[in-house]
A and B are shown apart, each in its own frame.
Chain A
Amino acid sequence: MSRIGVFVCHCGENIARTVDVESVCGAARDLPGVAHVSDYPFMCSSPGQKLVKQAIRTHNLTGVVVAACSPHMHETTFRGAVAEGGLNPFLCEIANIREQCSWVHTDPAEATAKASEIVEQMVAKVRFDTELQPIEVPVTRRALVVGGGIAGIRSALDIAKAGYSVTLVEREPSLGGNMARLSETFPTLDCSQCILTPLMVEVSHHPNIELLTYSEVEGISGYVGNFNVRIRRKARFVLEDCTGCDDCARACPVATPNDFDMGLSWRKAVYIPFPQAVPAIYTLDTGACVNAELESANGRYRVLACERCSLACAPGVIDYDMRPEILEREVGVVVLATGYKLWDASQAPEYGYGRYPDVVNGLEFERLLSASGPTFGELRRPSDGKVPKSVVFIQCVGSRDPEHGVAYCSRTCCMYTAKHALLYKHKVPDGKAYVFYIDIRAAGKGYEEFINRVMMEDEVLYLRGRVGRVVREGDRMVVYGADTLSGQSVQIDAEMVVLATAMVPAAEESFGRMVRASTDQYGFFQEIHPKLRPVETMTAGVLLAGAAQGPKDIPDTVAQASAAASKALEILAQPVFEREPTVARVNESVCIGCLDCQRVCPYGAIDVVDVTARGTTPAKAVARVNEAMCEGCGICTSVCRSRAIDIAGFDDEQVFAQITAVANPSMPVTEALAARGGAR
């Protein structure tokens, strides 16, 4: 038998001005199951809460309804008081008679009647409340960071410095990502490597960070606090004792395009991507090496036609028999920092990218400007090594172009194009720089000033309009474009053309599916809420950092990486992670296993298990909710035809009780009012 306590708050005059609290209390006394009713001017105050706590003990209450302000205001307060009074906090319901009653109605009779009915509704609900315990999820106190660019480096360092272990996985032989390729960074013109490499070194030396380069994440299973990760460590054929002396590379007879330099230079089959690479361990590129790997009945073996690198290696760390390894790690959180790549500009054939060697994309131009690049910082064009005397920069190649490329703005191109033009003018002071743009988006600290400086001081000619086509004539190119400000078509002779191509996600779509992070239509990872939860994915414990979530410049990337680290620490900082118990539960004896719930669950929180409920043979497959992942939205319940699945705290019986109460109330107040002579 329910013994419910009803506590009506006056909220000073806020409720009592329009609602006759005495009548509401009187009506509540007559409700079935109500054992105690009291009122107080400020129920949320310390004496008010004490009233609730005492009444729970004195009257041996089994449920509490507090008629006061919105549950969004004080539900937590009163649940706390109820818990201190010795009842389960989920046996407390709030009747919202302020925001949704006394504040929106002026007629006292109407407001009083409505308040009484709201109390009746919540009394009806609380009778079906059950004791709920917070869900406790044990946490493995280690993080996985996927991607060793600036985003992954920053996240890993933040987590490691807070005292937790981190496994950082990078698929390339070195940390650094795209940022390592950049020459200088806007708007301060810091040398990119100068600010990045100290962080790379810090990662490699940090005792809490396990650095796995040339490795890829192959599989993730589990859930928040308890992920199992399979990592494939590719064979680099060079042991970790490598001293980085470069003797092997000098001995190697094979040259192959250097992908770190975007193919603009050559490297050997045994190589280090760039001099400051971390770790400074060489890698043997089996795709380029003359020693073919073959397969036979006895397994894979290598035909050694050339051993020059091994012979040249004084420490003897070249190991042709190295095999890829599979490592398994248990982690509590995962940070995805898989970064971006550039859209393939050859999909816009009018610009000639891929056909004309002197039409390059932004990252290629970065390498040409970089002191560590193929031209050692002297700007020379790829085709003939000539210093270009005129360069046309074209913005929005692929970006903001839903017809041919992507609809979004890549956010960084306006700024890096301005930087490119500036660096070009500094290197070739008598050269001419033209920029075609749609409009300039320079929203960032010091960005607008930077653009103005480039336009004014460095005399870069900005032309507002699009380029129709680029045509080669002899050893130069003619750029046909429109200048929409003067309304004229323009032709510019260019010795080089630089395309500011769109940023697209670097991670494969299948990777997103594997880590259960949903992606948007372009393949960027989808955050759970664009404003309020920008670094969390739909899968609890999987976090986002950097351009994997959307195009970003370095400051934004670093800020988001630190945000992801702080969200990671929120989980890692506690041995047991507590979650609200208002989650879905399956009645396995009723569940028939159609799995429509699984189809609609936004969180992937529903698994399939075989059970032998009530001795059914063979075992039947049923849905099971992973309470660590469920957010309690209840979409699953509304598709469940047999109602095998329900939401604790908002279950069908509680909803039904409320519907019955509000659609067909007992209306005791009516009688009370009638006895006093109708509406007052």
Chain B
Amino acid sequence: MSKVAPAGSGYQTAGEWAPRIVAFTCNWCSYSGADMAGTARLTYPANVRIVRMLCSGRMDPLFALKAFEEGADGVLVSGCHPGDCHYVQGNLYARRRLEIFADLMELLGLDPRRLHFAWVSASEGVKWSELIGRVTRSVLEAGPNGEWLSAPTAEFSSAKLPEPGPPPRTAPTRDANAATTSHLRQLARRLLEEGEVSRVIGYAEGAQSDQMVPAFVETPEDAERLVWNERCYANLANYAVHRSGGATALIAKTCDAKSIAGLLRENQLRRDEVVVVGVSCSGIWHGDRLAAKCYGCDEDVSPLADWTVGPDGTARGSIPAAGRDTSPDPRDAALEALSSLPPDERLAFWQGEFDRCIRCYACRAVCPMCYCDTCITDKHRPQWISAPQSGPGNTSWNVVRAMHLAGRCSDCDECARVCPSGIRLDLINRSLAQGIKRKYGTMVSADPAVKTALTTYRPDDAGRFV
């Protein structure tokens, strides 16, 4: 539904559509700057409504999303200039968070002319009035925000994303898998016998051939169930949270170990209740395809590992990765193809994706970093995400999920694997992670002491703020 106001709405000349813009300002600089424009009797278009907060650091990107969902045609966020924040750092946190949000909106095909960020000080009445003029013109050019967040109006063309090429390496041999499995069983038995742990969480054969399922091994004899091969997809970190009654040994690939680090960092696990058993993994295979996340995996077996198990035996601590690989990640080619599309085609692509979302929240359930007792989706005072499985609610959910994992996602790709609708969540996660790496130089760390990208800042961070 496009927002064409009836004649005489008073926004612009009668009969014309006029943009609605929601501005979020801090109380101290930008709100005062807007007051200053009034005191100086400067004039500017009447399309902006200000929501006053105490600090731009209070600005949750999801407020902007909500504004779009409610029908706003544009959003402006304005705070104190860096170094002038009344709360010292609030604007610097906001700059990072909103920058990543803007990246996400760009990926999803939101017209960048709708989203604006600025620093306006209390003395910059002139800047405020010019800014409002500029923002209003920009939103006017973008036109009514009809399509954003609504169900797709036309048959969206599935933009042909490039298929991954041949895998850069071959699947491990049966012999190597058997050797690793045997070392793993030995270690599990020993840990259980010596009482160092009261359970080992690993993989066992599932009901279907080639399907490995999580296994909870609690007795030394039961260790015989454990297996290791290239079908051990699951990120077992998810199962270690909130277990009482003794320590847990957790079998972890490098990507999984980053989740463990995240859970340690965020106090969902205690170091003394988890024994990390790293496996020297040479890649996970889906059918005859190497998992996309494994292409560029060039990291050591996690520095967190208490033990490392491989085909050659068992070692204390972590060991360097066997075969380092820097082959280009096929997701990057897909993202590149997406980013070369014009925004409206990107929008159509993602609307097609989100339209398939059935809101089963399997992505949430499988993600080790989605551990909240009460998810924001379940809140209704206020309701952040509308409940029906369509249009705005679907988009909001996927945006919220992506933002909550930005800077925290360990790239295990489990969400994309379990999605029954095959939504390309992997592309969203990958895109945000790459943006964070490019802008702030940080990746999700396997060191629990390292703060995530969005809970820190640098005074000289780049950003879209003007």
Contact = CB atoms under 8 A, between A and B. Distances in A.
Contacts of B8: 109, 670, 673-674, 678-679
B34 A653 contact: no
21 contacts: A98-B38, A100-B38, A101-B38, A104-B44, A105-B43, A109-B8, A111-B46, A594-B268, A596-B455, A600-B57, A633-B86, A638-B60, A642-B376, A643-B379, A662-B22, A663-B22, A663-B71, A667-B9, A670-B5, A674-B6, A674-B7
Nearest to A662: B49
Interface of B: 5-11, 14, 20, 22, 31-32, 34-39, 41-44, 46, 49-55, 57-60, 63, 66-67, 70-72, 86-90, 93-94, 97, 129, 244, 266-268, 371-376, 379, 381-382, 384, 404, 451-452, 454-456
Interface string A630-666: 0111110111011110010010110111111011100
A651 to B, nearest CB: 9
Interface string A600-627: 1010000000000000001001000000
A37 interface: no
Given A72-B31, A594-B268, A662-B49, A635 B89 contact: yes
Contacts of A112: 10
A107 B12 CA distance: 10
Contacts of B43: 104-106
Interface string A99-139: 11101111101111110011001000000000000000000
Contacts of A589: 374
Contacts of B39: 99, 103
A92 interface: no
A659 B7 contact: no
A70 B22 contact: no
B82 to A, nearest CB: 13
Contacts of A637: 58, 60
B9 A670 contact: yes
Contacts of A118: 49
A70 B30 CA distance: 13
A585 to B, nearest CB: 14
Interface residues of A, number: 70
Given A635-B55, A663-B67, 16 more contacts: A99-B38, A100-B35, A104-B42, A110-B46, A113-B9, A589-B374, A590-B374, A596-B452, A600-B57, A633-B54, A633-B87, A638-B94, A643-B376, A655-B53, A655-B63, A659-B22
Nearest to A616: B373
Contacts of B31: 70, 72
B87 A602 contact: yes
A592 interface: yes
A245 B148 CA distance: 88
Given A98-B38, A105-B46, A592 B372 contact: yes
A599 interface: yes
Given A600-B455, A660-B70, A592 B88 contact: no
Instruction: Tell me what chain B mostly uses at the interface: helix, strand, loop, or mixed.
Output: loop
Contact of A639 (B373, B375, B454): B454
A99 B375 CA distance: 40
A197 B77 CA distance: 56
A582 interface: yes
B98 to A, nearest CB: 10
Contacts of A596: 266, 452, 455
A558 interface: no
Nearest to A533: B86
A533 to B, nearest CB: 10
Residue of B34, B86, B382 most packed against chain A (CB within 10 A)? B382
A559 B137 CA distance: 51
A679 B14 contact: yes
A478 interface: no
A595 interface: yes
A600 B70 contact: no
Nearest to B73: A663
Contacts of B129: 104
A643 B20 CA distance: 28
A528 interface: yes
Residue of B9, B41, B94, B129 most packed against chain A (CB within 10 A)? B9
A72 B8 CA distance: 32
A635 to B, nearest CB: 4
A669 interface: yes
A632 B54 contact: yes
Nearest to B53: A650
Given A110-B46, A650-B58, A538 B11 contact: no
Contacts of B50: 96, 100
B374 to A, nearest CB: 5
Q: Sort A-B residue pairs by CB-CB distance and give the 6 closest, nearest first.
A: A634-B58, A99-B38, A113-B10, A662-B49, A663-B70, A633-B87
A602 B54 contact: no
A98 B266 CA distance: 46
A631 to B, nearest CB: 6
Given A638-B97, A662-B20, A599 B381 contact: no
A416 B280 CA distance: 65
Given A600-B93, A655-B63, A656-B382, A99 B34 contact: yes
A414 to B, nearest CB: 27
A70 B63 CA distance: 23
A72 B11 contact: no
A679 B6 CA distance: 12
A679 B10 contact: yes
